[in-house]
Structure 1
């Protein structure tokens, strides 16, 4: 996928190309008014953190200065509180669409996997087991694909809302959609590209271990598995962290896929462990909260399936599972997306003095 051309330096979040060895403008005399703010959200030509006069400026959901971890999480919650109809309403609609498609896939295609979940003294034949696994794989694949599409649309829209919420500006759903819609296809391509790279990395490691175990000896495969699996974990952790803010860069700066990935790597460089820790904290917190909310409905689905002597893939249990996914996704998805967006803003404020430019624009 080729990188999309950037727009003019003054538009949106486009980062204009800085001149070679820029000369900082002379400081204004004491008491003189500040120069007018430069348009857009590009990197500050000053490259310096905000001055003390801007330290307390907070036109939107976060103060315009480098953020602490708690402020990033609080800013994500404040974004949902400031724009509840757009953030929570959009999340509910998107997650509901994904849950509905998953419900249909599981109760139709996935129904063929029911023998795998029934207690029976008669073992399945090879053909029956193969057919059941095929239905299970197909239903899971359909749900996963729709989940990716829902994630892309929801992430793009929520990041668009956050870009306005940082400056305390209104975020009508129609305007946000018009701004974000051209970015959804590149965002989908980048999401699929990162997923493909991760899957290929896992597949290569598994194949190498299997070949070593079969061609040499099982012990050789076991010995080779330890360093390869450790290396795989390191690689995937680096990939996840280094590209962690690529989505906000792609949406807000209108970058292409390659440009957004390079932008993320540059912003994360020097803050790898901090970014990794914040991402883990957000994901673990969202997973625990979502697991608790969705787990209640999953337990209810299991009880219903056992009471009716049916399968988890029957309509009743799957309806309960779908309701649980809607409830958990509506509450956790905005926190994750907005936290990633605020992490991107924080990195730019720390590395490029974006807080100065945002404070001047807000003034």
Structure 2
């Protein structure tokens, strides 16, 4: 899929509202209507010509034309029809949702989305449809990665965090407390890094599966791995760069309040950092699919994302935020009941004192039940989140770079975009 011409880095993109195929002056006309050729000998045609079939000799008197009857509208033409006297092909103002009327124009749909600019419902539906139709490739990837990550997380919480008490014991030495907290922080950082690696692998492979699903093509787990493997280090570098850049930005804005020991100044810096980090996060949210599908470098993918998001920040923010709310709700519905059940089992074993020393939450039953819930939730939500990002990238390129023409060609659709009246045919 990476070698498909549909994902190649485009040249100068057409301006808004401009579609390829319009006259650009390559035939020598510069978009102007062609002028009639002058006959030999310098003789010129008359500026006003009679209609075809009514040519007469020069100077002959013209017979008066009989009155022409007005064409009668065909049954079903006019309002609510496609092809009446006033519509896009002679049709009237059709019903909402009719072809080429108030609704969306007809478009080819070789895969999970139609090849035209998408709305919110089509993006979410495309992500869910891909998971549903390609579940043999998508769900095993997310299931294996989520299982491995949660097994490591359970072991870390059981053996590295079980000794960390919620409240320190009275008379405990400060150095012992710091050592315990340092070990716990090290374990948490290692656990977070493992989760980061799992997320990167899942995102990379799911991106390749979605890119083929847009064209109506299937993808096996082996194919997705072979296509994603050369880009994993680049994706890791991109993720670390964005994370470290956001952390550095927050630290810089909080630093004046910390140095001056001024709580008010620190709060101002924190409140200024949050919207700035959010703005940058959405601005570079399409860098991951650009890096994977265009084989771009880290810096180039950041520039591509910035260019694609420009002018559509609020729209992409809204779709991303809504997707996050939906996946968070689904995860909560799955995880919280199992976590509560595990905590109840832990309290039954350790009693109320288990809440104070932390043993109620670090027993095997609470940890395993919470991990099972997390595995199920991540298996379902991770591909949907990654898929929405990929489809947003495809949508922005369709809007700005006419990517639908390249995708139609890669999907084997003939006559797509050449004649609006002719439906595309399979190649």
TM-score bin, normalised by smaller chain: 0.7 to 0.9
How far did 1:20 drift? Answer: 12
2:389 is equivalent to residue 348 of structure 1: no
- Normalized against structure 2, the TM-score is what? 0.70
Question: CA separation of 1:125/1:291 partners in 2, compared to 1, >3 Å: closer, same or farther?
Answer: farther
Match of 2:181 in 1: 133
Deviations 1:50-76 (A, max 9, x none): xx7983211111111111111111110
| Contact 2:257–2:266 under 8 Å retained in 1 | yes
Secondary structure of the residue aligned to 1:145 is helix
How far did 1:16 drift? Answer: 4.2
Q: In the aligned structure 2, how far is the partner of 1:289 from the partner of 1:353?
A: 35
Q: Of 260, 272, 284, which aligns to 1:243?
A: 284
Count of residues in correspondence between the two structures: 323
How far did 1:146 drift? Answer: 0.6
How far did 1:18 drift? Answer: 4.4
Q: Of 181, 202, 205, which aligns to 1:154?
A: 202
Secondary structure of the residue aligned to 1:111 is coil
Q: Of 56, 59, 65, which aligns to 2:107?
A: 56
2:330 is equivalent to residue 289 of structure 1: yes
Match of 1:15 in 2: 9
Question: CA separation of 1:313/1:138 partners in 2, compared to 1, >3 Å: closer, same or farther?
Answer: farther
Match of 1:173 in 2: 221
Question: CA separation of 1:282/1:145 partners in 2, compared to 1, >3 Å: closer, same or farther?
Answer: same
| Contact 1:61–1:166 under 8 Å retained in 2 | yes
| Contact 2:131–2:138 under 8 Å retained in 1 | yes
Secondary structure of the residue aligned to 2:166 is helix
Q: How does 1:1-363 map to 2 (within 5 A)?
A: 13-18=7-12, 55-113=106-164, 115-116=165-166, 125-213=173-261, 218=262, 221-222=263-264, 224-309=265-350, 310-362=359-411, 363=413
Question: CA separation of 1:138/1:315 partners in 2, compared to 1, >3 Å: closer, same or farther?
Answer: farther
How far did 1:137 drift? Answer: 1.6
The structure with the larger Rg is 2
CA RMSD of aligned residues (A): 2.7
| Contact 2:6–2:410 under 8 Å retained in 1 | no
Q: In the aligned structure 1, how far is the partner of 2:266 from the partner of 2:360?
A: 37
| Contact 1:117–1:312 under 8 Å retained in 2 | no
Question: CA separation of 1:299/1:72 partners in 2, compared to 1, >3 Å: closer, same or farther?
Answer: same
How far did 1:123 drift? Answer: 7.0
Q: In the aligned structure 1, how far is the partner of 2:331 from the partner of 2:400?
A: 33
Question: CA separation of 1:124/1:75 partners in 2, compared to 1, >3 Å: closer, same or farther?
Answer: farther
- Mind listing any 5+ residue stretches in structure 1 that lack a counterpart? 1-6, 28-51
| Contact 1:246–1:260 under 8 Å retained in 2 | yes
Q: In the aligned structure 2, how far is the partner of 1:19 from the partner of 1:205?
A: 37
Question: CA separation of 1:11/1:348 partners in 2, compared to 1, >3 Å: closer, same or farther?
Answer: closer
Question: CA separation of 1:117/1:87 partners in 2, compared to 1, >3 Å: closer, same or farther?
Answer: farther
| Contact 1:109–1:138 under 8 Å retained in 2 | no
- Mind listing any 5+ residue stretches in structure 2 that lack a counterpart? 24-99, 351-358, 414-427
Q: In the aligned structure 2, how far is the partner of 1:106 from the partner of 1:200?
A: 28
Secondary structure of the residue aligned to 2:362 is coil
Higher helix share: 1
